[in-house]
Structure 1
Amino acid sequence: MISTWLVSFFTYLEPLLCAAALLFLLRIKPWRNYIYLVALLSVRLASDLVYLGLKAMIHVSVVEAGSAYRIYFYSYWGSYAIEAILSILIIYSIFKLAMAPLKGLQALGMLIFRWVAAISVAVTVGLAIAPNQSGKEFIVGLVTQMQRTSSILTLCLLIFVCFAIRPMGLSHRSRIFGVSLGLGILATTDLVRAAWIAHNSTMESAVNLIGGFAICVTLCIWSTYFALPEPKRRMILLPTTSPFHRWNQISAALGDEPGYVAIGGIPPELFAPAEIELMKRASAMMAPQKVEAHPTSNLRSISA
């Protein structure tokens, strides 16, 4: 009885907190830096409203339970897949914001991240394909694997942010850390839920209750971070022996175009007339200097 009440409580509380977090996020000036988080919250809010709307229509006998379930199945798993993709994009944008002062490491890290994400998506699709699968089973397997992939990448990002928060001039009150913390909580609960859903898939299970609680906590964290003013990012002062400084220089030099040197065989047509005239005058001025520099050689040639 208590578990049923808690499920209903979290079900109605989640869209309210989601709307509040979305409102606080849109109030800040650089909200475009978190555009993927805005999309994630919007998709989550729309999914919750669809569920509540279907539940209300079933209660007043407007829609049959079977039809409502089919609608909710595709809307839930469709939004779940979109959220998995948006989570990866949020990780990408958060890493880009965190590494903004070190352009070299930022470019190298983004390149590595794109390759890792592409390989992870390919592995996810491969693991989701199995023989004798129905369409619904394939959708569930594919979306579940996508969510696991994004959860693992999110936890890796959270570990990186925790270790690099001080060298990058950030603090625990930074919105970058707040967004990463919320994503880490969601990723952990999604991994636990994916591992235990095969054993107990009822709505009133402890895993689902913990998942609903974790979502509400995450939305509260995001609302708090976006409602409060963010401290200014500190200036980064790295010693010359710092590995961050060295790797940033190396990474910045990796993408530079090489220089080119003209060895020979240059046709005169490549030079402008003014350049040719300048070279002629320079050659004419250098000829008398050579004669003055070797007067004895000229005298010897005359006496001979």
Structure 2
Amino acid sequence: MSEAWLVSFFTYLEPLLCAMAIWFLVRSKVARSFAYLVAFLSVRLFSEVVCLSVINLHVIEEHLAYRIYFFVYWSSYALEAALSLLVIYGIFKLAMEPLKGLQTLGMLIFRWVAAISVAVSIGVAVAPHHSGLQFLIGLVSQLQQTSSVLTLCLLLFVCFAIRPMGLTYRSRMFGISMGLGILATTDLVRAAWLSHNADMYSTFNLVNGLAMCVTLCVWTAYFAFPEPKRRLIVLPTTSPFLRWNQISMALGDDPGYVAVGGIAPELFAPAEIEIMKRASAMVPAKKLDAPSNLRSISA
């Protein structure tokens, strides 16, 4: 059994597993919560079907087939990079839902980090010797690497915060994060590998196909079985999650205002002025009664 046969086997197996993952995800009635993951899998499935059809059917002229393959492959690769970022964003939003303050602050930080990462990717892709298709390939590759780094950071966060957030290792958010972590690791290794070995049937391409199939199997399993309910979150008063959540909820709120002077009488209604006059007239009488009461008590 050669490496070429195994690579071809995983290549043909991937669309089937991808379709199965989409079916179980839709059947579990959580497609709305994981809409970006559905879009990610749909783009992946469409790309695999079109590319395999162009390669194997031989009904299109070779140069045209290559152009179609090139356009579909790199377009879907770019869409997958963008959708994977959105999947990460959605997972973080769902994981931090009980702590609204940290959720808002984290989403703001995530958007800024993603925007800066995209800008850096564009800057790295722009080079004097890159133009046209080379620029496009470099840009998409940099975006994919950026998405992979952010995915691994999210996976690390989910592993540390899974217990305080009331989640378990059977939660779908953890399963999706784990699958994305596998893909992110293989993408980062592939970026370094292909610069030294571009053989289509290399050992790493075999590992890459295996990693994708394992990821799809993991996602299928997590959506095929019911998810345990989220536990009640009980945090101690000294918990850093609770303190930072309170601080985050206070950020951006408008402060209250207190009038300390320079108040014109015209600002008050006549009834309010009358009440204040009566209250001020009663104050001296109370002060005069206080000493007599004290003497009577001492007597």
TM-score w.r.t. structure 2 length?
Answer: 0.91
> Structure 1 residues 138-147 or 257-266, which shifts more?
257-266
Sequence identity percentage = 65
Corresponding residue of 1:75: 72
Report the Cα distance in structure 2 between the residues aligned to 1:151 and 1:284, rounded to whole angstroms.
Answer: 71
**1:119-141 CA distance string (max 9 Å, x none):** 10110000001113231111111
Letter matched to residue 209 of structure 2:
G
Do the aligned partners of residues 290 and 242 (structure 1) sit closer, same or farther apart at CA in structure 2, a change above 3 Å counting?
closer
2:25 aligned with 1:28, yes or no?
no
Matches within 5 A, 1:1-304: 2-58=2-58, 62-266=59-263, 276-286=269-279, 288-290=281-283, 292-293=285-286
Q: How many equivalent pairs are there?
A: 289
Unaligned runs of 5+ in 1: 297-304
What secondary structure does 1:123 align onto? helix
TM superposition shift of 1:74? 1.2
TM superposition shift of 1:283? 3.3
Do the aligned partners of residues 269 and 207 (structure 1) sit closer, same or farther apart at CA in structure 2, a change above 3 Å counting?
farther
> Structure 1 residues 30-39 or 180-189, which shifts more?
30-39
**1:88-107 CA distance string (max 9 Å, x none):** 11111101111111111111
What secondary structure does 1:32 align onto? coil
TM superposition shift of 1:66? 2.0
**1:129-178 CA distance string (max 9 Å, x none):** 11132311111111110000000000000011111111111000000000
Unaligned runs of 5+ in 2: 290-299
Report the Cα distance in structure 1 between the residues aligned to 2:9 and 2:254, rounded to whole angstroms.
Answer: 59
Letter matched to residue 138 of structure 2:
G
Letter matched to residue 240 of structure 2:
P
Report the Cα distance in structure 1 between the residues aligned to 2:97 and 2:272, rounded to whole angstroms.
Answer: 47
TM superposition shift of 1:29? 2.6
Do the aligned partners of residues 43 and 281 (structure 1) sit closer, same or farther apart at CA in structure 2, a change above 3 Å counting?
same
Corresponding residue of 1:299: none
Letter matched to residue 14 of structure 2:
E
Letter matched to residue 123 of structure 1:
V
Corresponding residue of 1:301: none
Report the Cα distance in structure 1 between the residues aligned to 2:287 and 2:226, rounded to whole angstroms.
Answer: 78
Report the Cα distance in structure 2 between the residues aligned to 1:32 and 1:141, rounded to whole angstroms.
Answer: 33
Do the aligned partners of residues 174 and 295 (structure 1) sit closer, same or farther apart at CA in structure 2, a change above 3 Å counting?
closer
